[in-house]
A = this chain, B = another copy of it.
Amino acid sequence: MAELRTEPNDPSAAVLERARARYSPAARKVVDAGVDLFAQVGFLATTIRDLTRSCGITAPSFYNHFESKEALLYDIVRTANSALEQRLDALEVDTLDPVDALSGLVYGLVTFNLTHPKEARIANREWVFLQPAMRDEVSTHRRRVRSLFEQVLASADTQSGLLDGAHEAVPDELEIRLLAMSILNLGIASSDWYRSDRPLTIPEVGNAYCRLALRMAGLAPPAAPRTPSPRKNSRPRT
């Protein structure tokens, strides 16, 4: 079970904040500007001069804080990735039943992406511009997260046979990977349309995506939704 966490609401926010404490105040400004610009116009379209202008220094001063433009991207991506990974690992999904495990993963993923939409966008879309060595490391992290989802979906399948892949030509293993990729993409897409000034709160959207993911996995009835069971403190209900 996962009742050990102390943060009541969003542990990843604390993780992300702590990771940023290692920057000096000046470097922190640079990182913030990088997060803004990389998320808004992309890594390639962002110039050092754009970046430094938006935080009140000149281009050369950038290199007092980071080795290169790419090093800044790497810092941002790695920080976001490990914050998400810590959050999902803390769920200890292998101790939960499939419904709670999948719900927890989706809720954690979606609320992370909505709470830190810029960091999430960069981690999801811009990491491909890193050099192969760094990119491979990032790739490993992403694969680890994906395998969390696949593991839960596989155990949901073997434990209760709820997936309906058997009636088609699609093997279970591929159906599971397809499902995992799709659900992960939901989380990425969520931050594309969500705006914090909308009528929905982040927990509400998180729960909506949980129901959606359960339906996708065949773990929830479509027309007569099951009454939600009492939830862990990490996944508040509305």
Which A residues form the contact surface with B (CB < 8 A)? 42, 44-45, 129, 161-162, 164-165, 167-171, 174-175, 177-179, 181-182, 185-186, 188-189, 192-193, 198-200, 204-205, 207-209, 211-212, 215-216, 218-225, 238
* Given the contacts A193-B177, A212-B182, A215-B216, A170 and B222 also touching, CB distance less than 8 Å: no
Are A164 and B216 neighbours in the complex by a CB distance under 8 Å? no
Given contacts A174-B198, A182-B186, 14 further A-B contacts (CB under 8 A): A42-B44, A44-B45, A45-B129, A161-B223, A162-B222, A162-B223, A164-B223, A164-B224, A165-B208, A168-B204, A170-B200, A178-B205, A215-B222, A220-B222
Instruction: Report the Cα distance A165→B222, complex, angstroms.
Output: 11
Instruction: Please give, as numbers and ranges, the residues of chain B lying within 8 Å of A220 by CB-CB distance.
Output: 222
Are A181 and B170 neighbours in the complex by a CB distance under 8 Å? no
* 5 contacting pairs across A/B (C-beta < 8 A): A161-B223, A164-B222, A165-B208, A185-B186, A215-B215
Oligomeric state, in copies: 2
- Nearest to A166 among chain B residues (CB) is B225
Instruction: Report the Cα distance A60→B179, complex, angstroms.
Output: 47
Instruction: Please give, as numbers and ranges, the residues of chain B lying within 8 Å of A222 by CB-CB distance.
Output: 162, 164, 215, 218-222
Instruction: Please give, as numbers and ranges, the residues of chain B lying within 8 Å of A216 by CB-CB distance.
Output: 212, 215-216
Instruction: Please give, as numbers and ranges, the residues of chain B lying within 8 Å of A207 by CB-CB distance.
Output: 168
Contact of A225 among B42, B161, B164, B175 (CB under 8 A): B164
Which 3 A-B pairs have CB atoms at the shortest separation, nearest pair first? A218-B222, A185-B189, A44-B44
Instruction: Please give, as numbers and ranges, the residues of chain B lying within 8 Å of A45 by CB-CB distance.
Output: 44, 129
Contact of A175 among B42, B167, B169, B208 (CB under 8 A): B208
- Nearest to A218 among chain B residues (CB) is B222
* Given the contacts A169-B204, A204-B168, A179 and B212 also touching, CB distance less than 8 Å: yes
What's the nearest-Cβ distance from chain B to residue A182, in Å? 5
Instruction: Report the Cα distance A178→B169, complex, angstroms.
Output: 29
Instruction: Report the Cα distance A209→B216, complex, angstroms.
Output: 10
Instruction: Report the Cα distance A179→B225, complex, angstroms.
Output: 17
What's the nearest-Cβ distance from chain B to residue A158, in Å? 15
What's the nearest-Cβ distance from chain B to residue A120, in Å? 14
- Nearest to A220 among chain B residues (CB) is B222
Are A182 and B178 neighbours in the complex by a CB distance under 8 Å? no
